[in-house]
């Protein structure tokens, strides 16, 4: 695919088919993603890819945990709230998703259902959990590196003819994930990424978000 088409074609998919990608395809995707840049090439990401029945087990455990508490005990707790333009974009995105999911603001039951879809991985047959180690002092800098890796991974998935959805929501239950996958405690769960072949019949996948005009986010200086 043309690079510009891959970048503009990528969007968060929230409905997947049960079709599992073969191991060779998965290896090709994650090998390509490993070429993402990082500070001094330290490559601080630690990734666990869960597929098929293992993904289903994780899905059921995540759903059970979320039914008890959707807040959980994240390694990186959410702090503060968006304001101004950031809040406006957040609301626009949420309302757009709800519209495609048949959710209204005054229907608390459907809103809860929409939130729980995160912990079902939107029915994806694959989910990647992305960790960073707490052995480095500059965790914020490492998060920037992991962001570059995650974007490269999502573009590699798009290039392979699949879709993905980055999810900080699934990082609410890091202890569950570490226990299930045998991950040591010094690895901290930053985010998850559900992915697979897109279910085009799911109306949630019709959502497309816009981007602000370039001059609102980017300034060019030449003198």
pLDDT at 200: 94
Q: Domain count of the chain?
A: 1
DSSP SS3 for 15:
coil
Domain that holds residue 40: 3-70+119-171+189-208
Q: Evaluate whether residue 12 is within a structural domain.
A: yes
Q: Evaluate whether residue 135 is within a structural domain.
A: yes
pLDDT at 1: 65
Residue 136 has pLDDT above 80, yes or no: no
Summarised one tens digit per residue, pLDDT across range 30-63 is 999 999 999 889 899 999 999 999 999 999 999 9
Q: Evaluate whether residue 52 is within a structural domain.
A: yes
Q: Evaluate whether residue 177 is within a structural domain.
A: no
Q: What percent of the chain has pLDDT over 70?
A: 98
Q: Evaluate whether residue 25 is within a structural domain.
A: yes
Q: Evaluate whether residue 58 is within a structural domain.
A: yes
Helix-helix angle 108-119:52-68, to 10 degrees: 140
Residue 172 has pLDDT above 70, yes or no: yes
Per-residue pLDDT band at 137 (split at 50, 70, 90)? low
Q: Evaluate whether residue 32 is within a structural domain.
A: yes
Token pair of 4 as six digits: 């510009």
DSSP SS3 for 217:
helix
Q: Which residue has the higher pLDDT, 94 or 172?
A: 172
Q: Evaluate whether residue 203 is within a structural domain.
A: yes
Per-residue pLDDT band at 2 (split at 50, 70, 90)? confident
Helix H, strand E, coil C: the string for 58-115 is HHHHHHHHHHHCCCCCCCCCCCCCCCHHHHHHHHHHHHHHHHHHCCCCCCHHHHHHHH
Assign residue 147 the CATH number of its domain.
3.40.109.10
pTM, 2 dp: 0.92
């Amino acid at each position: 695919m043309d690079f510009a088409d891959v970048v503009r074609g990528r969007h968060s998919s929230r409905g997947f088919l049960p079709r599992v990608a073969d191991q060779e395809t998965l290896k090709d995707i994650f090998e390509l993603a490993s070429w993402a840049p990082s500070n001094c090439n330290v490559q601080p990401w630690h990734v666990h890819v869960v597929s098929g029945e293992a993904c289903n087990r994780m899905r059921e455990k995540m759903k059970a945990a979320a039914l008890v508490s959707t807040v959980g005990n994240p390694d990186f707790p959410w702090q503060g709230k968006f304001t101004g333009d950031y809040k406006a974009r957040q609301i626009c995105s949420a309302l757009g998703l709800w519209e495609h999911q048949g959710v209204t603001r005054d229907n608390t039951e459907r809103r809860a259902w929409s939130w729980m879809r995160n912990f079902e991985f939107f029915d994806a047959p694959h989910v990647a959990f992305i960790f960073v180690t707490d052995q480095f002092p500059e965790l914020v800098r490492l998060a920037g590196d992991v962001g570059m890796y995650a974007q490269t991974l999502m573009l590699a998935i798009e290039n392979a003819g699949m879709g993905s959805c980055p999810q900080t929501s699934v990082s609410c239950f890091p202890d569950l994930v570490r226990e299930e996958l045998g991950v040591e405690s010094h690895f901290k769960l930053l985010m998850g990424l559900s992915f697979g072949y897109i279910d085009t019949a799911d109306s949630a996948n019709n959502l497309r978000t816009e981007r602000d005009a370039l001059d609102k986010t980017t300034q060019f200086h030449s003198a």
